[in-house]
Amino acid sequence: MEKESSSTKKCQIETDLFHTASGIPVKEIYGPRDIEALDYLGDLGDAGEYPFTRGKHRGMFRNRRWIERVEVGFGRPTDSRERVKYLHEIGQSDIEFQTDLPTEMGIDPDHPMAQKETGLEGIPLSSLADFEEAFEGINILDHTLSIMTTHGSGATSLCQMIGLAEKRGIDPKTLRGSVCSSNPLSHDPWGFPCAQPMDLSLKLCIDTIEYCAREKLGIYPCSITGYIMEQTGINAFQTMAFVMAAGIEIIERALQRGLRIDEFVSKIILHLQVGMDFFENIAKIRALRRMWAKMIRERYGAKDLKSCTPNIVIRTAGDSLYDRQPTNNIIRVAYEVLASVLAGVQAIDTCTFDEPLALPAKGASRIALNTQYIAFYETGVVNTADPLGGSYYVEHLTNKLESEANQMLKKIEEMGGLITAYEKGWIEGVLTEAALERHKIIESGEKTVVGVNKFVIPKEEEESIPIELISPEAQEEHVMKVKRLKETRDNRKVRQALSRLFEISPLDKKINVIPAVLDATRAYATIGEIWGTMRKANGYPYDPFGVIQDPFLAD
């Protein structure tokens, strides 16, 4: 001990590194005694076997590449479509659209609060017309379609996907894709509220799960977004506990509908972040896979093994990137991709290195995608499943995170579950503490960030990178387009569809509204109109911001 800390410099490095990001102390070396109790078949199993700690599929990436993608969403639907086409040209197989804020809130581009927000940090998908424009010239059977959104537009995005398939004469059952983050438990408790009420949103999310299960659609209607939770600054095991707790809330409600666990649970995606703490992130994913599998089989009695192992989708950590010496971010993202691959995930969405400065530029998106290709084709890490399985340290950390997360999950459940913990304000307390702590350790230099608080260069020497600026003209054009749509569509059909939706929407009627939302979508009703109708039917004001009136049904 004495000998090792002989120089001050070394001593500083020690305090910096010898615990994980979530504060778990890390020993000098790990050995057989640290994983004494580990039972191979019970705790690990081969990849593709219960409890799936080592991976979802046999052979993992030997047999199938993960879905690689870079998020797209800006300007008019046509602007985002052009970017997606470019990404396809350079190899991307997926389409991932991030919706803009008005879409996420469930309001239309021509809403007074939306006009200056439309298309700024996502694609506007307010109606089937926007959706058609976004996919024009793209064969939707060639790609998986992912819409990253909130509960504000989860159901409408799903219906737009189905509507588009129908218009092209494609059986919606053959579509592959997902509507991500479409439940309120992925947003409201973590400080990213959509403007729509929790009770309606949650019911609507379960409606989408039920609809997809009963219609046997290939689309994944729901994801639990640990990513959003983690962006608040909470740590690995807190995230795991919250993801499990959100899962329980959703599964319980779907079961209450009379669905069997095996009918729907494999269609719930777990969407997580992989950040800079390399081993802890790997252990987090492995541990979560095991916890989820055990819960689904032991607690919910799933018979089908496929039900026990969710698709785990990763986004690299936006909050691990910095605006100083931004090209360093390429290196950070590369480590995060490597960790994701070693953890055995099903899809990776890489952040672009310019994210702390602006919206992703074209060149930055290409680098983000190439980062994944390099990991796949050049590093050899894909040659065998779960190459870190059996590592004394990784297995120890996997166990440790699982037990910490289980303790916290127990606490949440004793409180009455995730929603109660949120309503009581308990989650808010956890988040505030985490955010302040993260700020403190960076500012105090306790955590070293290269180029930010160490190895800093003068501001004038910082490289300048190309920045894509927004186009107010494109924004105005799109707002006008939506106004025109509202004038030119067959408003008699819209009115009929919305009246029907209004009738069946009250929560106490317990009717699945998706078929009615789908009818409204086919008639080119907009997201704001659909939400407004469902809100009014349940005693909420038509407009969440109290600005506009219902154009169809008098109050």
Partner 1 sequence: METKKIKVIVTKIGLDGHDRGLKVVATILRDAGMEVIYLGKFQMPEDIVKAAIQEDVDVIGISCQSPNHILLIPQVIRLLKENDINDIMVVAGGIIPEPYCSQLKSNGVNEIFGPNTSSQEIVDYITSNVRRRV
Contact footprint for partner 1 (CB under 8 A)? 101-102, 104-105, 113-114, 116-117, 120-121, 191-193, 195, 231-233, 322-324, 356-359, 431-432, 435-436, 439, 443, 452, 464, 467, 469-470, 472, 545
Which residues is 225 bridged to in the sheet?
271
128-135 helix and 154-167 helix, angle to the nearest 10 degrees: 60
Q: How far is the CB of 439 from partner 1 (least distance, A)?
A: 5
SS3 state of residue 56: coil
Q: Which two tokens stand for residue 336?
A: 């995060």
426 neighbors 189 (Cβ within 8 angstroms): no
Q: Per-residue DSSP letters for 324-362?
A: SSTTHHHHHHHHHHHHHHHHT-SEEEPPPTTTTTSSPPH
Is the Cβ of residue 144 or residue 352 nearer to partner 1 in the bound state?
A: 352
Q: Which two tokens stand for residue 460?
A: 């004038």
Is the Cβ of residue 194 or residue 348 nearer to partner 1 in the bound state?
A: 194
| Dihedral sign computed on CA atoms, order 419, 425, 430, 435 | positive
Is the Cβ of residue 98 or residue 372 nearer to partner 1 in the bound state?
A: 98
Q: How far is the CB of 478 from partner 1 (least distance, A)?
A: 14
Question: How would you classify the pairing of strands 177-180 and 347-349?
Answer: unpaired
At 193, the amino acid letter reads: P
Closest CA to 466 of 367, 360, 322: 360
22 neighbors 279 (Cβ within 8 angstroms): no
Q: How far is the CB of 210 from partner 1 (least distance, A)?
A: 28
259 neighbors 266 (Cβ within 8 angstroms): no
* CA angle, residues 432, 437, 443, in degrees to nearest 5: 130
Is the Cβ of residue 52 or residue 74 nearer to partner 1 in the bound state?
A: 74
d(CA 150, CA 102): 11
d(CA 445, CA 447): 5
d(CA 236, CA 225): 13
Q: Where are the alpha helices (DSSP H) in 197-327?
A: 198-214, 226-230, 236-256, 261-264, 278-294
Q: How far is the CB of 278 from partner 1 (least distance, A)?
A: 23
Residue 186: DSSP 8-state? G
Is the Cβ of residue 90 or residue 436 nearer to partner 1 in the bound state?
A: 436
Is the Cβ of residue 106 or residue 344 nearer to partner 1 in the bound state?
A: 106
Q: Per-residue DSSP letters for 19-37?
A: B-TT--B--S---GGGGTT
Is the Cβ of residue 123 or residue 409 nearer to partner 1 in the bound state?
A: 123
Is the Cβ of residue 1 or residue 469 nearer to partner 1 in the bound state?
A: 469
Q: How far is the CB of 163 from partner 1 (least distance, A)?
A: 25
Q: How far is the CB of 153 from partner 1 (least distance, A)?
A: 13
Is the Cβ of residue 357 or residue 523 nearer to partner 1 in the bound state?
A: 357
Report phi then psi at 440, rounded to 5.
-65, -45
Q: How far is the CB of 468 from partner 1 (least distance, A)?
A: 9
- In what order do the strands lie in the sheet containing 94-98? 94-98, 144-148, 177-180, 219-220
Is the Cβ of residue 194 or residue 514 nearer to partner 1 in the bound state?
A: 194
* Contacts with 407 (C-beta within 8 Å, 6 or more apart), sequence order: none
Is the Cβ of residue 310 or residue 528 nearer to partner 1 in the bound state?
A: 528
Is the Cβ of residue 43 or residue 462 nearer to partner 1 in the bound state?
A: 462
Q: How far is the CB of 324 from partner 1 (least distance, A)?
A: 6
